[in-house]
């Protein structure tokens, strides 16, 4: 076999991409990964891996990537002066620099050929140009199936733009929801903010919400979803985080000095998630606001399914057009629920009133509480 020809070529080494690669390798496919960033790399994320994500890694035999992860046992939601504490298994906290790097190492150890610091671009069915970002040299790669797992900010399908309606051969483009929020985040020194280990703190404010969690090495991850106009009005991500975190802040200088990163619009979907020799997975296939902290778990489970299917496509026993139905079955109900929660939280006053209702009738918000922990909510 030619060295530049693979059964499955995965673009992006986030949770979706590495889980797709691990599943494809397990199914016997010769697999490659092309990743734009140099690893380890930071990523805007709340860093809370859901129980479903933990289970996905266990099923792939990759859960030792979570060896030092912090078990999460409580979520605190604050809005308009009300606070609800919700106890239950919320999975684990782990930094994205460590998690993604460990999963990529796993994939390499199991036989994946991987390039980092290399930008991939899909040029034709089964054809990818990979450009080394530092040196500018290019490789022309071929694969039976290309799995696009390049996230919200991915560029591998950029050349293809928006899918014209009714063009079955077209490569997928984005549909972005009106009024979509953006994400921003940073990892802060451990003494910058108040944040108890093992507890997720979520604060709902006018224009968005912000979450805090303590990572295994003691640093604190901050991630927010925000109305872009509000972020601009408050003077950028650092100023916005400082204002929103308010009484959690211990060292404002550390917040101002942190390396803040932003994301493009969060709520979006692909017009299509398949094409000739092409499957799209993870955030690259669509995303909703992240309040319930399930994106990585979704990405891992969808990645697992995509990798296994891609191996079968490469072996000639399945087709890429089986992917939309498979993905819909995996993801659509969760995304609708998550979108509904995100819309309900758009009003901090409503959220505060709902949290106060916990005190009067804990069963009132039972379904909501179940979604962010076991329904044993208490209101402070
Ligand atoms: C504010 C915020 C908070 C969040 N909090 C949580 C949380 O607490 N828990 C949770 O589970 N999820 C959370 N999420 C969601 C989670 O971060 C994503 O759902 C998850 O990272 C999706 O994984 P992915 O593999 O699809 O994409 P990504 O993790 O984005 O990985 C995509 C990879 O593709 C690479 N790439 C892009 N373009 C190219 C290219 N052309 N060529 C090669 N490589 C390329 C990128 O460098 C990147 O490494 C949050 C998201 C946001 C924005």
For residue 147, which of 366, 310, 376 has the smallest C-alpha distance?
310
Rounded CA-CA distance 231/182 in Å is 9
Considering only residues 88 and 72, tell me which one the structure prediction assigns the higher pLDDT.
72
User: Mean pLDDT highest for which of 163-172, 214-223, 330-339?
Assistant: 214-223
Rounded CA-CA distance 90/77 in Å is 14
**pLDDT tens-digit readout, 211-225:** 999 999 999 999 999
Rounded CA-CA distance 85/294 in Å is 19
Task: Write down all domains in the chain, each with its CATH number in brackets.
Answer: 5-46+95-177+267-342 (3.50.50.60)
348 within ligand 1 shell (Cβ under 6 A): no
151 within ligand 1 shell (Cβ under 6 A): yes
Which ligand 1 atom minimizes the distance to the CA of 224?
A: 1
Ligand 1: distance of its center to the CA of 364 in Å? 34
283 within ligand 1 shell (Cβ under 6 A): yes
**pLDDT tens-digit readout, 279-324:** 999 999 998 887 778 999 999 999 999 999 999 999 999 999 999 9
Which ligand 1 atom minimizes the distance to the CA of 18?
A: 25
Question: C-alpha angle with apex 115: 114 to 120, nearest 5 degrees?
Answer: 115
pLDDT surpasses 70 at 96: yes
Ligand 1: distance of its center to the CA of 277 in Å? 23
363 within ligand 1 shell (Cβ under 6 A): no
Rounded CA-CA distance 126/277 in Å is 5
Task: Classify 241 as helix, strand or coil.
Answer: helix
Which ligand 1 atom minimizes the distance to the CA of 155?
A: 41
pLDDT surpasses 80 at 139: yes
Residues sharing a CB contact under 8 Å with residue 273, sequence separation 6 or more, in sequence order: 172, 279, 280, 281, 285, 286, 323, 324, 327
- CB neighbourhood size of 195 (10 A): 23
Rounded CA-CA distance 13/100 in Å is 7
Pocket test for ligand 1, best of 10, 13, 14, 282 (most atoms within 8 A of CB): 14
Please check whether residue 294 is in contact with residue 338, taking contact to mean a CB–CB distance below 8 angstroms.
Answer: yes
What pLDDT shows up at residue 273? 93
Phi-psi region of 235 (alpha: psi -120 to 50; beta: other; left: phi over 0): left
Straight-line distance from the first to the last Cα atom of the chain, in angstroms, rounded to the nearest whole number: 64
- DSSP annotation string for 130-172: EEETTT--EEEEEEEEEEE---TT--TTGGG-SPPTT-TTSPP
Which ligand 1 atom minimizes the distance to the CA of 150?
A: 34
Tokens of 288: 């909703």
What pLDDT shows up at residue 169? 41
Which ligand 1 atom minimizes the distance to the CA of 34?
A: 43
Alpha carbon dihedral 324, 327, 329, 333, in 10-degree steps, equals -110
92 within ligand 1 shell (Cβ under 6 A): no
What pLDDT shows up at residue 162? 42
Pocket test for ligand 1, best of 10, 12, 131 (most atoms within 8 A of CB): 12
Which ligand 1 atom minimizes the distance to the CA of 152?
A: 30
Question: C-alpha angle with apex 223: 83 to 188, nearest 5 degrees?
Answer: 100
**pLDDT tens-digit readout, 206-259:** 999 999 999 999 999 999 999 999 999 999 999 999 999 999 999 999 999 999
For residue 10, which of 107, 92, 81, 87 has the smallest C-alpha distance?
107
What global pTM score does this model have?
Answer: 0.91
Tokens of 128: 């990818």
Rounded CA-CA distance 70/247 in Å is 24
For residue 283, which of 268, 293, 261 has the smallest C-alpha distance?
268
Rounded to the nearest integer, the mean pLDDT of the chain is 89
Residues sharing a CB contact under 8 Å with residue 361, sequence separation 6 or more, in sequence order: none
């Amino acid at each position: 076999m030619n060295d530049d020809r693979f059964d499955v070529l995965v673009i992006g080494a986030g949770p979706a991409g590495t889980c797709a690669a691990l599943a494809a390798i397990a199914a016997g496919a010769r697999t490659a990964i092309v990743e734009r960033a140099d690893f380890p790399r930071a990523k805007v994320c709340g860093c809370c891996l859901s129980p479903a994500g933990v289970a996905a890694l266990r099923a792939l035999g990759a859960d030792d990537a979570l060896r030092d992860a912090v078990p999460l046992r409580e979520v605190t939601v604050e809005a308009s002066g009300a606070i609800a504490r919700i106890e239950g298994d919320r999975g684990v906290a782990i930094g994205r620099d460590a998690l993604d790097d460990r999963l990529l190492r796993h994939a390499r150890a199991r036989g994946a050929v991987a390039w980092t610091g290399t930008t991939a671009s899909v040029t034709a069915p089964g054809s990818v140009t990979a450009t080394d970002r530092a040196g500018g040299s290019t490789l022309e790669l071929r694969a039976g199936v290309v799995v696009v797992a390049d996230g919200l900010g991915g560029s591998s399908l950029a050349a293809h733009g928006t899918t014209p309606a009714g063009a079955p051969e077209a490569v997928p483009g984005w549909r972005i929801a009106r009024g979509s929020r953006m994400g921003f985040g940073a990892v802060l020194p451990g003494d910058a903010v108040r944040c108890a280990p093992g507890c997720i703190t979520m604060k709902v404010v006018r224009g968005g919400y912000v979450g805090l969690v303590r990572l295994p090495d003691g640093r604190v991850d901050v991630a927010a979803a925000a109305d872009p106009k509000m972020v601009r009005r408050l003077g950028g991500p650092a100023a916005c985080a400082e204002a929103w975190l308010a009484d959690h802040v211990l060292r404002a200088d550390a917040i101002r000095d942190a390396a803040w990163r932003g994301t493009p619009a969060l709520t979006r979907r692909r017009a299509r998630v398949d094409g000739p020799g092409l499957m799209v997975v993870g955030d690259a296939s669509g995303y909703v606001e992240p309040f319930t902290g399930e994106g990585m778990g979704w990405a891992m489970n969808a990645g697992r399914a995509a990798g296994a299917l891609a191996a079968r496509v490469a072996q000639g026993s399945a087709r890429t057009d089986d992917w939309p139905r498979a993905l819909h079955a995996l993801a659509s109900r969760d995304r609708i629920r998550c979108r509904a929660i995100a819309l309900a939280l758009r009003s901090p006053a409503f959220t505060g009133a709902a949290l106060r209702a916990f005190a009067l009738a804990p069963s009132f918000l039972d379904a909501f509480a179940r979604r962010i922990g076991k329904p044993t909510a208490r209101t402070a």
